[in-house]
Structures are given as C-alpha cells and as structure tokens.
C-alpha cells in the first residue's frame, strides 16, 4: 500500500509532472462556456474550436451521430456548434481533455474500453434521468461522462499499482474501486475529485466524481450522484464496464442514495428496470462506432 496516498496524489497533481499537457484553447473555451448562455459568443467558440484539429473533428462526428442530432450532413464547425448547442460543445471539450490524457496504447487500461464505459454511462445516465423526470437530464449526461476521471489520474501517477488493481478486479470480478482500495490505499474517487478541483470543474461534478461509489457521502447533489452511480453500476454489470462484468447480486432499490433519489424523483417508484436494461443494449452499436471514430480523430 502506498504511504500517505492522498498527499502523494495531491503533490503529483500539483506538479503535473507525469500528466500530458492539454491543448491551450481548451481552458479559455471551457471558461467561456461556463458563463450564462446570453453572454456566450458563437463566433469566439467557433474560432477556438477551429484552432484545434481534433476538437473540430470530434464536434463534427458527434454532430452527425444519431445519438446527438437528427441531422446527418453537418460539415462545418459553425453548423455543428449551432446544431449541438453550447452545453454539448462544453461536454465535447471536456471529453477532449480526457481523451488527451488516456494513453494511446492499451498497456494498462484499454482506452477504447474506458471510453465505451464513459460514453455508455453518460447515455444511460441521461436516459435514466429523463425517464424518472429528473429536472435536468443533461447534467446527468455530463456527470456520467466524467465520473471515472480518477482512473486516468491513477493511470498516470501510479501506473504499476493501478495495473495490479485492474488485474485483481478483473480476475476476481470485483468492483475496480474495491481493488484500488486494497492495492493503492485510495480509489479513483479521491484522485478524480482532486483533478476535478484542480481543473476548476463545478461543485456538482466534483461530487459526482468524488462520491459515485459512496453516494451517502455526497452533500449537496445527492440525487444527481445517485443517478450516475446507479447508471454506472448497470454499465459495469453489462458489457459497458471496465472490460469485465462484475459478478454479484445487486438489488438496486437497496443501494445507498436510492431513497434520496426517490424523494427527489417520485417517478422512480414506477420505473421498469428490466425494460430499461433491455433498452440499454440498443445503444451499444452506436457507442462502439462513435468511440472508434473519436479515437481515430485524436
């Protein structure tokens, strides 16, 4: 077990000595997209995106995917931005940050598997949020997309120990965060929350990233954290997990956070889990196709 793990993550993140650098346009773009919609300037956003080749290509791929729009002939950044909307552009910019951080070669974590899980969980979270009438399903999408940010951090700061944890989890078919706790002495929740704070992501995303495996500890956004947590679990028990399906009996209604979510979204009571799980299968081909396209455009 690594001594003073938390201090270790903090100081390594501080120096960012092992993390790759991010494109310079990303942070001004993200800051701009954090403002209220009326203050945003489409021209500036289009300009920033146009300066980064992979961001441009990713916007175009997503704008043409049936998962995000009904149009199939978007071929300029401007039409993509207008068609996707500013919020979706922010999600793409954040995805781009993480894409740059995942190493190309599947030495420890297969990047394609990581991305299928992130995108799969984002879509499942949004769909779940819509069906239980959570007020803002797009927040659930972004939470789902970024929830495992800490896996990338662990990959960079403790690659050998992280590989050991992933091998243990895969072999024993246990949740990855449990294997991390045993091998590293901390989980991707803690390291992810530190990077989220370092990047200045909002308190809501920090809670999703920091507590998606310990929903009861979330303070202010427990319903959202519970949505992402339950969606993550559904993905991990299907083919959208971390490269293996976890083997265990889970009763979703007994999970921490379920009661809070039920209070916030009473429609949850009539939610048809079996049907929802079947519907998830329908996203798989498009998630796989999109992840392949995003990887080619890095």
Residues that bind Fe ion (CB under 5 A): 148, 232
- CA angle in degrees (0–180, nearest 5) for 73-142-98: 85
Nearest approach, Cβ of residue 44 and Fe ion (Å): 34
Q: Is 88 or 213 the residue whose CB approaches Fe ion more closely? A: 213
E strands within 79-121? none
Residue 35 CB, shortest distance to Fe ion, in Å, is 30
Minimum CB–partner distance for residue 134 and Fe ion (Å): 19
Distance of alpha carbon 219 from its chain centroid, rounded? 20
| CB of 77 or CB of 94, closer to Fe ion | 94
**Nearer Cβ to Fe ion, position 52 or 232?**
232
Question: Quick one: residue 281, left, alpha or beta (phi over 0 = left, psi -120 to 50 = alpha)?
Answer: alpha
Instruction: Return d(Cα 11, Cα 21) in angstroms, integer.
Output: 17
Torsion of CA 62, 66, 67, 68, to 10 degrees: 50
**Residue closest to Fe ion when measured from CB atoms:** 232
The H or E element spanning position 289 is helix 284-296
Helix (H) or strand (E) holding 235: helix 222-236
Closest CB to Fe ion among 64 and 187?
A: 187
Tell me the closest approach of the beta carbon of residue 63 to Fe ion, in angstroms. Answer: 26
- Comparing CB distances to Fe ion, the nearer of 138 and 178 is 178
- Write down the least CB distance from residue 298 to Fe ion, Å: 21
Distance in angstroms (rounded) separating the CA atoms of residues 277 and 292: 24
């Amino acid at each position: 077990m690594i001594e003073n793990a938390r201090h270790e993550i903090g100081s390594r993140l501080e120096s960012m000595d092992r993390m790759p650098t991010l494109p310079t346009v990303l942070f001004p773009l993200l800051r701009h997209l954090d403002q209220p919609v009326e203050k945003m300037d489409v021209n500036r956003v289009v300009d920033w995106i146009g300066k980064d080749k992979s961001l441009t290509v990713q916007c175009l791929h997503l704008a043409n995917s049936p998962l995000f729009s009904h149009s199939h002939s978007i071929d300029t950044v401007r039409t993509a931005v207008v068609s996707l909307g500013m919020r979706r552009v922010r999600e793409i910019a954040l995805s781009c940050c993480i894409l740059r951080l995942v190493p190309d070669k599947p030495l420890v974590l297969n990047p394609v598997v990581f991305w299928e899980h992130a995108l799969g969980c984002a879509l499942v979270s949004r769909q779940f949020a819509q069906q239980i009438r959570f007020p803002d399903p797009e927040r659930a999408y972004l939470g789902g997309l970024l929830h495992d940010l800490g896996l990338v951090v662990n990959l960079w700061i403790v690659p050998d120990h992280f590989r050991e944890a992933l091998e243990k989890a895969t072999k024993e078919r246990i949740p990855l965060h449990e294997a991390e706790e045993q091998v590293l002495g901390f989980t991707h929740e803690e390291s992810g929350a530190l990077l989220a704070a370092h990047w200045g992501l909002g308190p809501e995303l920090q809670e999703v990233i920091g507590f998606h495996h310990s929903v009861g500890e979330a303070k202010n956004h427990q319903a959202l954290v519970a949505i992402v947590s339950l969606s993550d679990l559904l993905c991990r028990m299907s083919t959208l997990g971390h490269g293996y399906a976890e083997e265990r009996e889970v009763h979703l209604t007994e999970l921490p956070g379920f009661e809070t979510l039920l209070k916030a979204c009473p429609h949850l009571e009539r939610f048809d889990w079996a049907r929802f799980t079947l519907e998830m299968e329908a996203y798989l081909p498009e998630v796989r196709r999109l992840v392949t396209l995003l990887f080619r455009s890095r």
